[in-house]
Structure formats: C-alpha cells, structure tokens
Amino acid sequence: MSIWKNEKFWCVVGGAVGSAIAKKILKAPKTREYAVKGLAHGMKFTADAKATFQDMKDEAADICNDAKKEAGK
Amino acid sequence: MRTKIVYDKPGRIRFRAGAYAFEPEHESRIHKACVANSYVKNAIVHSENGGILIEYESGFREQLIEFIQKLNPATLPDGEPDAAYQLQALDSKFKNKLAFMLARRYLFKWFVPLPVRTAIHIYKGLKYVMKGLDILSQGKLTVEVLDGAAIGASILQKNYNSAGTIMFLLNVSSLLEEYTKARTRTALTASLAVKVDTVWIVKDGVDVQMHLQDVKEGDLVRIRSGAMIPVDGTVIEGDAFVNEATMTGESRAVHKSAGKSVFAGTILDEGSIVVSVRAVNGNTKIQKIIELIDQSEDLKASIQSKAERLADGIVPYSFLGFGLTLLLTRNVTKAVSILMVDYSCAIKLSTPISVISALREAADHDITVKGGKYLEEFALADTIIFDKTGTLTKAEPKLERVIPFEGRSEEEVLRIAACIEEHFPHSMARAIVRGAFDREIDHEEEHADVQYIVAHGIATTLNGERAVIGSKHFVIEDELVSVGDSEQRRIDELAGAASVIYLAIGGKLAGVLCISDPPRDEAAEAIHMLRKRGIKHVAMITGDSQKAAERTAQLLGIDTFFAQVLPEDKHRYVEKMKAEGHRVIMVGDGINDAPALAAANVSVALSDASDIARETADVTLRSEDLRDLAELKDLSSQLMDKIQANYHFIVTFNTALLAAGFFGILAPSTSALLHNLSTMGICAKSMMPLKQHAPTKRN
C-alpha cells in the first residue's frame, strides 16, 4: 500500500503542520499583543469589579450605620 | 488627593478617590496619617475604590476635608502599620476572598458549559486524589486520604457536582482556618509588643537610662543579672552567664565574655556585661513566642492533640464503613455516602480554631497565653498560689520609714540604698528609688559594679567598703552582719507589719528601710471570684515575716500561707501541693519566683514582673488587675465546654447523616453538602467569642 494512501501518515503530517502553524501563531507579535490586551482587560475587569463591590459594601455599611443611629434615637 | 464626598453625616464622612487612586501598600500610611489627627476617632481605608471612611469629633469637618485634600499618599512616610489597621485589613481581605470564592463558584456553575465544567472538576479533583495517594504511599491514613477518596469516588461515579461541592467547601474551610490563625497572630503580636523597655546606655563612662526605641547601632548597653538582653550585639567588657533557652531551646547557661555575641530575648542569669549594639531587635522574642504558640506540639492543648489524633484515627473506620456498606447493600451510591461523611475533618478543624480563638480573645482581654495547653491547665486547676510582694500586694509598695544606725542620717541611708537599688527591676527596689525621688534626694553613682545575688539582695563596693542591701536572711545570716538587741527592738517597734530591707556597709548595719506593702485594691475580690469559679484552695508564699504574711492572709481570706520562705525553697511548696494531687496555678512577679513558676502546672506573671518571670510564666497579664485571673478562668472553662459541645454535635449530626446515607434516605451529594456545611458552620461557631461582653478596660 502506498504511503500516500495511509491515513495515519497524513495524521502525522497534519499534526506536524498543525504544530508548526500553532508555534508560529503563538510566537507571532500579533498573538502576543492580543494576549496582553486580553490580560489587561481581564485585570481591569477584576479591579473594576473589586471597586464596584467595595462601593456596594461601603454604601451598605453607611445605610446600616444610619439605621442603627435611627434606632438608637 | 482628589476625592469626592459620598457620605456626610455629623461625625462620619466618607471620601472616595476611585480605583487606582492609591496602591494597597499606601493604605496603612493613609490610615496612620488620618488617626494621627487628634480629632479622628477611627479611619478605614480601601485601595480597591480609593475609599476613606473617617469617624471624627464634631466641629472638625472643615479641618478634616482640608486635610484629605492636601493628603498625598506617595509622600507619606513609610512605617510599620499598627495592629488595628492590620486586623481591619485582615478582616476585609477575608470577606473579599470569601465573596470572590462564592461569586466564582456560582458564575462557574451558571455560565460555564457542562463539558468544560466537567473537565475542570476532573482536573482539580485529580489533585486531591494525587495528594491522598501520595500520603497513602507513605503508609499514612489521614483526613487528606479520605478527602481524596471521597472526591475520587464522586468523579468515578460521574457525580461531578458532588466533587465540585466537596472541593469548594474544603477551600472555604481552609480559608476560615487561615484567617483565624492570621488574626490571632496579629492580635498576639500587638499584645506582646506594647511594653516600652528602658535600657542602661554607657555614655562617656556614665550609665544613662534610655528608651529601647532610642537605642542605635553601635551604642553600648549595660546588662546586669536577671535582665533580658534587649538587643543583638557583641560583648565589649564583662563576664556573664546567659540563658539562651529562648533561642536554642537549651536552658544551660552559656558563658559570655568580650568578643562573644549575645542575642535579643535571651536572659542574663549572672554577671554584668557591656554590649555593643549590632541590631535592635525588640521583636525577636515576640516572634519566637508566636512561632512557639503556632507550631510547638508541646504547647498544644492535650485536648487539641487528642482531637487531631482522633480525627486521623477515625479515617480507617470510614473506609471500613464504606467496605461493609458495599458488601451488605451491594450499592455503590450508599457506600460512597459513607465516604462523604466523616467525623474527622470537623473535629480536626474546629478544635484548633476554638483554641486559637480563645488565645486571641485572651489577648483582647490583655492576657497573653503562650499556648493552648495552658488554657486547658487553667481550666482544670483547683489551687492557686500567690507570691505576696508585688503580686497580691500593691504594685507600688511605698517607702514608709528609714531607720538609720551608726550615726548616719536618714537621707544618707536612703541615698545609698536608692543608688544601689536603681539598677534592678523589682517592686521593692522601685519603692526605695521612688522614696528617694519623692524626698528630692539626688543619688549619683558612687559605688563600683553591683552584684545581684538572686532573690537575696545586692552587694557592691562603696568607698572601698563592702555594701550589701537585702532581706534579713541575706544581710544578717549570709553576710554575718550583727544586729544588737537595742537595734532589733527599735526595728520591731518602728517597722510594725511593714517589710524591712537591711543595708549594711563595712559589715555594720547602716540602716533599715521599712516598706509598707498594702494589698492591691482588687485582690480580695479577685480571690472571691476565683473561688466562685472552682478554685478550692488559695495559698500565699512570701519571704516576709510571719506577722506581715498573717495580716495579708487575714485581709484577703487566704486559706494557707507560708512565711519567711527562702527564695530557693518557693518551688518546693508548689511541688508539695502538686504531690498532694492539686493542679496548681502559681502567680508571681520577681526573679526569685521563676523556679516556682516553672514548677507549677500553669504560671502567671503580672505586667510589671521582672523579665525572667515574664519569660518563665505561661501566662502574662498586661492590665495589672488580678481580676483578670478570674476572667481567664472563665475563658478557659468556657473553651473546654465549647470543645466538648462541638464534639457532641459533630458526632450526633454526622452519625445521623451516615445512617441516612446507609438507608438510602440521602443521596451522596446531599450528604456531602450537609456534612461540609455543618463543618463550616462549626468552624464559624468556633471563631465566635467565648465571652459575650466586650473586654472591659479598667484603669
């Protein structure tokens, strides 16, 4: 049987080509740029979420404080 | 700093500068700068949203706003954050972490597609399984093996949600444990670090007293017998035996002479040295103690060690239960629910959390306990022995009278006595120095190097003659100074029930100093409170005369007293009581009490005790109030009750879950959820304060 008709052979070739392309993509400056951008967005999102959560906690604490004062009158 | 006011009510204002306005490391600086203003009562700073909440005295609003506007976090001086801020930061970090964990769990559950979720559960679950296998390969069968088995079994049964729930709850439990430990460590550090020490610096050949915080590298510090070495450094002159047990764990005294290194936190047993400062390291001792509390197996309450052993001991039975259930029911689901429920992790987690929370609570009450073991001993004790002078009696004994002999004047006797005594940290010595100060008597250093004869007195050379000061036993019997009948009559007549300190120069009695030592105001009440809390026997040991001891015992309602006890014999009385089957608490303050403190089941030193007593004692009180002993007795008894109650709850609840699993009433995932929720609940309950009321600060 000709090697060209062997399915496994093409799988190996496909895998090797796929790895080479994947390596190229991973090392490409554009990929790095997108990854950095993505990470930065993620970090900003986390920081913003933390700030929003802290704002909410602060406001809740203020409302609770007012309620306590009111009840104590 | 550019901020906007988001909340403004009288006495409370909240500024917000927004995220990125300052870095997390600036929080403590801003907090410190805010509370430094006299009108600021409290400040809470969050870098996440740039928030600053300030509670202040009314009438200072405008001033405060101006202060915040001018505040520049980047230019604020750096420094160690104070304990209040550290505790606040810890609380806030814990709450945020918990909220983050909850949010992540539910977002993950709602938005991540099932195949991805399954893959992640398997990946994370395998870590637990690998850890369990690793421990199993070492021949151990611990809680980690059980956790790994429970998670592994859930994954094998394709019950990924159960596996996820177990892992999540295990994470929450370990977060709780970590938080309690960190909080306790911070509270203990704060409680131990407050004492401001003074040291003697040699400057141009003269000894000058200075605060430890003002000591710089290269300064020469003189250290004498019985004192704790406050710095790391090199010996420049003198010879001494230093007990380095706090550093090396070995209590044999090490000889130190010129050129040798000495370390902060070690105790100078005998001799006198001058040390060139290499590093002022006031925290060495504190860190040591905290590490000990944290790590030492010896310091763990036996109930805690027992709980930990029990927890691991139960694990094989869980596996046995699993096997039996599988054999009897042929139902894997029912068998797995046995693995989901076990007694061990709740017991293993809740007991140390309870102990460590009690240690923290004690610290909040101004009581430092150096290990869970001592809380347990305190709870079990039925006998308390007090040292009299400086412990049961006022912390500030008063010089009542000076009786001069040999044609000397009162002023001369007091001047010499104060000059010799001022180097030593004992309440009697302080009374003499204060007596001279009150009478405006200046005492310049006239004597040669002083030698401290532990618990007896002090010897030195004054104008070429040997001068000794101390107890009657020391001066009359050891130093063979003779006292004539007429002199003795005069002393008996004028001293009354006061304690008498003898001063002899050149082998002749130069004078005596009468020091009245009235009991502390709260002593009788403290003893009454202790009796009500299960102390059956109250005793007192003193080197004082029979007359003085009897009077104090009568005033305070003490059952037994031992008078005229030689310092080296004090511990014999403690050992005698222990041999009679009593569990003994010893409370003392002086260098001479150290052996007795070490001999007791649990020992307590007061805040103004000598360094060596504080070092030896298992418990130190910071408030100088004997009623804190009753407070500690309460706390320790409540801790034991809580551990017992937790234990009963854990056994009852989990047995019910096991039965429900065995009979197929509960699915394994429900069992796992209920089991882990109950574990978390019991851990959270263990963190709750034992005493309902806030610590009362007494003046």
Mutation pick from B49, B95, B104 vs chain A, by most beta carbons of A within 10 Å, is B49
Q: Which residue of B has its CA nearest to A60?
A: B7
Q: What is the pLDDT of residue B521?
A: 85
The catalytic residue positions of B are: 387
Q: What is the pLDDT of residue A60?
A: 92
Rounded to whole angstroms, the Cα distance separating A24 from A32 reads 11
Rounded to whole angstroms, the Cα distance separating B327 from B558 reads 66
Looking at domain B398-516, its CATH architecture is 3-Layer(aba) Sandwich (3.40)
DSSP H or E stretch at residue B65 = helix B61-70
Min Cα distance B303 → chain A (Å) is: 39
Q: Are B232 and B281 in contact (CB under 8 A)?
A: yes
Q: Is A65 on the interface with B (CB under 8 A)?
A: yes
pTM higher than 0.95 for the full model? no
For the record, the structure tokens of A47 come out as 């920081």
Q: Is A66 on the interface with B (CB under 8 A)?
A: yes
Q: Which residues of A touch B48 (CB under 8 A)?
A: 47, 50-51, 53-54
Nearest to B49 among A54, A62, A66 (CB): A54
Q: What is the pLDDT of residue B52?
A: 93
Q: Which residues on chain B place their C-beta less than 8 Å from a C-beta of chain A?
A: 6-7, 9, 12, 14, 16, 18-20, 46, 48-51, 53, 95-96, 99
CB contacts under 8 A, A 26-55 vs B, are 47-48, 50-55
Rounded to whole angstroms, the Cα distance separating B61 from B75 reads 24
Which pairs from B279-284 meet CB under 8 Å and 24+ separation? B279/B217, B279/B231, B279/B232, B279/B233, B280/B212, B280/B213, B280/B215, B280/B216, B280/B217, B280/B230, B280/B231, B280/B232, B281/B231, B281/B232, B282/B193, B282/B197, B282/B212, B282/B213, B282/B230, B283/B189, B283/B193, B284/B232
Contact B19 A47 (CB under 8 A): yes
Mean pLDDT, consecutive 10-residue stretches, chain B (699 aa), reads 90 91 85 88 90 91 91 76 76 85 88 90 93 90 83 86 83 78 69 58 82 80 80 86 63 76 78 82 52 53 72 80 86 78 76 81 82 88 88 77 88 87 74 86 69 74 85 84 85 79 89 86 91 92 79 87 80 88 87 78 80 75 86 92 89 87 79 80 81 47
Q: What is the pLDDT of residue B91?
A: 84
A-B Cβ pairs (cutoff 8 Å, strict): 42
CATH of domain B4-81: 3.30.70.100
For B683, residues 6+ apart whose C-beta sits below 8 A from its C-beta are B173, B176, B177, B346, B349, B350, B353
Min Cα distance A2 → chain B (Å) is: 40
- pLDDT one-digit tens code per residue, A17-26: 999 998 888 8
Min Cα distance B20 → chain A (Å) is: 9
Contact A51 B99 (CB under 8 A): no
Min Cα distance A22 → chain B (Å) is: 22
Q: What is the pLDDT of residue B195?
A: 46
What residue spans define the domains of chain B?
4-81, 95-189+296-355+637-687, 225-279, 367-393+519-636, 398-516
- pLDDT one-digit tens code per residue, A31-55: 889 999 999 999 898 889 889 988 9
Q: Which residues of B touch A61 (CB under 8 A)?
A: 53
Q: Which residue of A has its CA nearest to B97?
A: A50
Q: What is the pLDDT of residue B584?
A: 93
Characterize the bridge pairing of strands B367-369 and B560-562: unpaired
Q: Which residues of A touch B18 (CB under 8 A)?
A: 51
Contact A62 B20 (CB under 8 A): no
Contact A51 B49 (CB under 8 A): yes
Listed residue (B168, B141, B374) closest to B176, CA to CA: B168
User: Is the ipTM of this structure higher than 0.90?
Assistant: no
Looking at domain B367-393+519-636, its CATH architecture is 3-Layer(aba) Sandwich (3.40)
Q: What is the pLDDT of residue B126?
A: 94
Virtual CA dihedral for B671, B674, B680, B686, nearest 10 degrees? -110
Listed residue (B607, B648, B455, B668) closest to B542, CA to CA: B455
AA identity, residue B514: C
DSSP H or E stretch at residue B270 = strand B267-279
CATH of domain B225-279: 2.70.150.10
- pLDDT one-digit tens code per residue, B451-489: 777 657 788 888 888 889 988 888 888 888 888 888 888
